[in-house]
């Protein structure tokens, strides 16, 4: 691996991790249980830590570092509180799992974008924009899951039929 590739990977790995963690949260939200709750509650502080570390190098004073840390801590605390509200039994009783996962993704997208603005890190803002842009796609996939499953099964069946016919024809030759 070249130095340029290594530098790029180390520089952008935290932002790719943010995206991967968000996708993991969406997948996990379709399951009920305490794991989902703890995952989302842990996600915001992880995002906050990435924001502080990313923004830290853009500041050169101790006061700036302290302001960044406090701003990010308060910011992500507010989003943890909002996510906590989504998991209250009263809310879960009227909101299905698909709506919960989309709501949490929207909260995470907004929180990430605003955190990037506060930290003055455009890559974090870009992660927030990407998360927001993925909301309609996630909603479509959740709505069309049965259709996609049927399409995948049909594709596999057709592929198996062609494979069987090909094997049969090559056996005759």
How far is residue 17's CA from residue 52's CA, in Å, rounded to a whole number?
15
Structural domain of 120: 3-143
Q: Is residue 67 part of a domain?
A: yes
Q: Is residue 148 part of a domain?
A: no
Q: What is the pTM of this model?
A: 0.74
Say what percent of the chain tops pLDDT 70: 87
- The domain tally of the chain equals 1
- pLDDT tens digits for range 116-158: 999 989 989 998 998 898 888 777 776 766 666 777 777 888 7
Q: Is residue 170 part of a domain?
A: no
pLDDT of residue 173: 61
DSSP state of 33: S
- N-to-C CA span, the chain: 48
pLDDT of residue 117: 94
Q: Is residue 166 part of a domain?
A: no
């Amino acid at each position: 691996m070249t130095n340029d590739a290594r530098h790029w990977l180390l520089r952008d790995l935290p932002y790719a991790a943010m995206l991967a963690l968000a996708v993991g949260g969406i997948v996990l939200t379709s399951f009920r249980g305490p794991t989902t709750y703890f995952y989302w509650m842990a996600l915001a502080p992880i995002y906050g830590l990435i924001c502080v570390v990313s923004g830290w190098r853009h500041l050169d004073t101790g006061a700036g570092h302290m302001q960044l840390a406090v701003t990010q801590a308060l910011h992500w605390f507010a989003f943890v509180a909002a996510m906590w509200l989504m998991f209250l039994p009263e809310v879960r009783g009227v909101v299905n799992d698909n709506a919960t996962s989309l709501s949490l993704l929207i909260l995470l997208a907004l929180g990430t974008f605003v955190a990037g603005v506060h930290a003055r890190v455009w890559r974090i803002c870009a992660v927030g924009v990407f998360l927001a842009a993925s909301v309609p796609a996630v909603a479509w996939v959740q709505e069309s899951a049965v259709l996609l499953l049927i399409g995948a099964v049909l594709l596999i069946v057709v592929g198996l039929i062609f494979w069987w016919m090909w094997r049969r024809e090559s056996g005759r030759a």
